[in-house]
Amino acid sequence: MNQASPFRRLVANFPRYSRNWVHWLVALGELPPNTARELLDRLQPQPVQCPRATPSFNGYVASSLFLHRCHRHLTDGPAENLHLVTGIVLDNRFVMTDLVALNHVDRRVSRAFASPGDVRNGLLLMESFGLRCGGLFHSHPGHGIASTSPSSTDWQNPRAWERAYRLIGAVFSHDGYGRFFGPQERLHVEVQGKKVKQIDVDLFHLELDRGVPLPGSPEWGPGIGLGG
């Protein structure tokens, strides 16, 4: 892989000897698993201050159907879940177009850690199509607006990715609230379509109906469509 690859720049931006840094080096094949296990046994998670930086884009755009698909995927069970988001840039606004699902090496009610190999493959897939990674969305346990507040670990991710990708995050609650966040202090997100209510510039509530099949969900099959 080219040394200038955004994926390698992403790995280089993690604090040296952090837990994430170790996992990414294993994914790149540059650190033997046995050595990685020894390092991880010695490392403890460190608190991270919420970063502030200048805005990366003038704004972000998503369809209401896309956000419903994200929520359905992320809240498929009680454990936390996460996925990548890809899209395109139009008039210096990032338009979210699709989600990239990931397998997990650790998934519990209170945390989720994606397989570094899956993240690597997802990023390379986006690059092969000429698209960019623009988001890392995940779920939190609980209900209500308060459950969408990003943790210190959540804030770490956009900061660690920012030199390689202009990444934003989103946290979804199980009852349909979704909050966007990123390196800048506030994100301005425009949602086009119905069944999503905007509460603040970075906070939305989805009108949920789990009885309605969505594209990409197990309920969506070849016999379901718009007709013609």
216-228 tens-digit pLDDT: 666 655 544 443 3
**Residue 69: band (very low, low, confident or very high) from pLDDT cuts 50, 70, 90:** very high
- For residue 44, count other CB atoms closer than 10 A to its CB: 5
Residues 140, 150 contacting (CB under 8 angstroms): no
Question: For 48-206, which CATH class?
Answer: alpha beta
Residues 165, 10 contacting (CB under 8 angstroms): yes
This prediction has a pTM of 0.72
Inform me whether the pLDDT recorded for 15 exceeds 50. yes
Distance CA 54, CA 71 (A): 28
| C-alpha separations of 175 from 30, 57, 96, 122, 147 in Å | 41, 29, 22, 28, 10
Which of 212, 228, 111 has the alpha carbon at shortest distance from 220? 212
Q: Percentage of residues in the chain with pLDDT exceeding 70? A: 65
pLDDT in tens, 178-203: 999 986 656 788 999 999 999 998 89
Binning the chain into helix, strand and coil, the percentages to the nearest 5 are 30, 25, 45
